[in-house]
Amino acid sequence: MSYKLVSIILLTWNPKRFLNDCFESIVSQSYLPLELIVVDNGSTDGSADTLRPLLDSVSSNKNIIWKLELLPANIGFARGMNRGIAHASGDYILALNQDVVMNPDYISRLVNEIEIGGNRPKGSVAGKILNWRIDINNKDKTIDSAGHEIFTDRIVQARGKNEPAGDYDKSCEVFGVSASAALYNRKALSDVSIGSEIFDRDFFSYLEDVDLDYRLLFKGYESRYVPDAQAKHAGGGSGGRKSFPIRFKAHTNRYLVWLKNEEMSGLIRDFFPIALQELYQFIRTFITSPLLLLSWFVFPSKAVRAINKGRIIYADGKEYGRLKEFIRGGRIARKLKST
């Protein structure tokens, strides 16, 4: 029996503290054949010098094909991941964060799931991703992500975030999956993209996987959650989430998602929860990080591009009605109750 090639796209940026654990988990995978493509996003911690020896070790241990691209500067998650995918030869693409450690059967279980037939073709699958506190070895007691869930206010968040690791033990269809450790069907990616732009380069970092969730859903693909496939994720180790320049570039990303993928009828239907969330977000930003509001000056050009990209992607129509199957209400009420 021949198995389809899985291309692992590992995007790195100052990854020194995570590299050994991440590479060991790649070598430990029971699934073959694998191709490993590493794109270093202009690391400044000296880790780029250690990548070739690590890749040589991976190749000698498991006969894994590898490719390496060293970029001179950080071009963001979306563009960096697109560079890696452009080099890939696999039928399946595994997007992998540098701060993720996979169980040995992680890829095997995802491939098994994506190849099972169903009513719709499967565009993406991901497993149960557990929180990993690398500094205290917390034995993976809580969930980082069990897929993505979407609410009436159009906030998309990790399903099961910080809940007990034993929960969410049933396989199911989900709105989408986190690109920290997600397996994508290469054919599906081609179907929802414009040329080589799989992840939208205007997003730089954050919510680019949510944009892809929308596109796969509306073009008729399923995203699946596989609880038996498990990995652990340190979180925040792949992009400097707290740095102001990245927060500035990402501040308006959720509006790009809407302009590109949403329909006015849906936004009007859920106007009140959306308006309440946006008012809360504006007040919070104005009080805590008012300089982020300057990002609106560069938003118009991105907005025009987002609208045009949506027109191209959905030129032959979209299954917008499927969104109702996944939208959940009461997010704000639950958030207030938990505080």
Each residue's pLDDT, cut to its tens digit, for the chain (339 residues) gives 569 999 999 999 998 889 999 999 999 999 999 999 999 999 998 888 889 888 988 887 787 999 999 999 999 999 999 999 999 999 999 999 999 999 999 999 999 999 998 889 999 999 999 998 866 655 658 999 999 999 999 999 999 999 999 999 999 999 999 999 999 999 999 999 999 999 999 998 889 999 999 999 999 999 999 999 999 999 765 555 567 878 888 889 999 999 999 999 999 999 999 999 999 999 999 999 999 999 999 999 999 999 999 999 999 999 999 999 999 986 665 565 455
* Per-residue model confidence (pLDDT) at position 139: 60
* Per-residue model confidence (pLDDT) at position 23: 94
CA–centroid distance for 310 within its chain: 19
Angle made by CA atoms 139, 158, 227, in degrees to the nearest 5: 55
pTM value > 0.85: yes
Which one, of 250, 257, 246, 253, lies nearest residue 212 by Cα?
257
Which one, of 10, 33, 174, 172, lies nearest residue 91 by Cα?
33
Whole-angstrom Cα distance, residue 34 to residue 310? Answer: 33
Which residue bears the tokens 């106007």? 271
Whole-angstrom Cα distance, residue 226 to residue 126? Answer: 6
Longest dimension (CA), the chain: 60
Whole-angstrom Cα distance, residue 143 to residue 136? Answer: 16
Whole-angstrom Cα distance, residue 159 to residue 226? Answer: 13
Whole-angstrom Cα distance, residue 282 to residue 286? Answer: 6
Domains, in order of start, for the chain: 1-339 (3.90.550.10)
